[in-house]
Amino acid sequence: MDNSVVTTQPVNQQVADEALLLSHDVAAVFNDLGVLMAVRGHTEEAERLYRRSLEIRRRLPDESAQAALTRRNLAILPTG
């Protein structure tokens, strides 16, 4: 049996799990920055940040509630 495959599998899974956690965090940061920009009246920048958050969240499992929050934030942006 090739032990290199056996030993790297858990490492690969750990890296994938950590990347997934980081993706959740990055999506949340984009959403939060969008909120900040919206509050400051920078609606175009807020929209860009919300859309980036949604792009990330659409690729993540179990993000429906958080994606719904970002879609809500995007929907309530004033139009110029």
Domain ranges of the chain: 8-75
Around Cβ 61, how many Cβ atoms within 10 Å? 7
Whether residue 23 contacts residue 56, with contact meaning beta carbons closer than 8 Å, is answered with yes
Predicted confidence pLDDT, tens digits, the chain (80 residues): 555 555 566 778 877 777 777 888 999 999 999 999 999 999 999 999 999 999 999 888 777 888 999 999 999 998 86
Q: 73 in helix, strand or coil?
A: helix
Read off the amino acid at residue 1.
M
